[in-house]
Structure formats: structure tokens, C-alpha cells
């Protein structure tokens, strides 16, 4: 696997793709070339791993991405639970298809923060359900972009 650290990511340039892998969906976001802003891209409804991964990597290549940031669902106390292992297994399987630089990023409360913002914006429950995963991926990726600048 080509797992990298934040310092390795800072030494590269180009767009970064953010992922929020869930059991039913994969939220995808992308940064701009200057790595200032994360934009929600799409949500993949998970069906079978290989077609989902193929689509993900098609987006990665089309957008000329240079790395992946994968949200890691740590427990509130920072410990790892079964979801962390599931995301790590997902990442290993992804890298078996296409070995690209990637890093994990703590995604605690990302979905809650995005959902709260949408509720405050008076967005309907149906529209929230459609957008939450890609917005969570964008929230995760924006955290990395902010850290890279500081």
C-alpha cells in the first residue's frame, strides 16, 4: 500500500480526492488544484466492490488527482472499532486495484456536522439523505486542506 503522511501530501501538488466510505455508500469529494477548497462530487451507492472501485478510480484519473484522503471512523475516545477495520480492509482492496498515495483522516462527527448544517439551512430530509455522504467526504477533505495550509 502507498499509505502516506500529511508531510508527504504537503510535498506534492494537484487535486486530492476525499472519500467517506460507508456500508451502503461512498461519498466522494475533490479539491481544487491549489488545494484551498473541497467540493462534494458524488455519492456511489455501493453494489459490488470492483465496479464501485473502477468508477472511483475513473473519477480519480479524470480529475487528475494525486492522492486519496479516506475518512477513518474512529470511536469518540479515539479507539478503533469494527468500522475502522472495515475501512482499512476497503482501502487495502482499493490499493489492490490501483496503488495510489492515500492517507487516513479522522472523520469523527463529520456526518453529524454536515447534517446539523443542512438542518439549520432548512434542507428537506430527502435532500439531506441524498447529499450527506458527499458532503461528509468534502468536510473530511477540507480538514486535510486546512491542516496543509497551517
Q: Where are the alpha helices (DSSP H) in the chain?
A: 6-10, 49-62, 82-97, 110-120, 125-149
Residue 103 has pLDDT above 70, yes or no: yes
pTM of the model: 0.87
63-96 per-position pLDDT tens digit: 999 999 999 988 778 788 888 999 999 999 999 9
Q: Is residue 121 part of a domain?
A: yes
The domain in which residue 36 lies consists of 6-149
Instruction: Domain count for the chain, please give it.
Output: 1
Q: Is residue 141 part of a domain?
A: yes
Residue 65's φ and ψ, nearest 5 degrees, are -70, 155
Q: Is residue 1 part of a domain?
A: no
21-36 per-position pLDDT tens digit: 988 999 999 999 999 9
Query: Which CATH number covers residue 102?
Result: 3.30.420.140
For the residues of 56-96, what is the DSSP string, one character each?
HHHHHHHTT--EEEEEE---TTS---HHHHHHHHHHHHHHH
Amino acid at each position: 500500500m502507498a499509505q502516506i503522511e500529511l508531510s508527504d501530501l504537503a510535498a506534492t501538488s494537484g487535486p486530492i480526492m476525499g472519500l467517506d466510505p460507508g456500508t451502503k455508500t461512498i461519498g466522494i469529494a475533490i479539491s481544487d488544484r491549489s488545494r484551498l477548497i473541497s467540493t462534494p462530487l458524488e455519492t456511489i451507492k455501493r453494489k459490488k466492490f470492483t465496479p464501485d472501485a473502477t468508477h472511483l478510480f475513473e473519477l480519480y484519473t479524470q480529475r487528475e488527482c494525486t492522492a486519496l484522503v479516506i475518512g477513518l471512523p474512529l470511536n469518540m475516545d479515539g479507539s478503533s472499532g469494527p468500522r475502522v477495520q472495515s475501512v482499512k480492509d476497503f482501502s487495502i482492496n482499493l490499493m489492490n486495484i490501483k496503488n495510489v498515495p492515500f492517507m487516513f483522516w479522522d472523520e469523527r462527527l463529520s456526518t453529524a456536522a454536515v447534517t446539523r448544517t443542512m438542518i439549520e439551512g432548512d434542507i428537506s430530509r430527502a435532500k439531506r439523505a441524498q447529499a450527506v455522504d458527499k458532503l461528509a467526504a468534502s468536510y473530511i477533505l477540507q480538514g486535510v486542506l486546512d491542516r496543509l495550509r497551517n
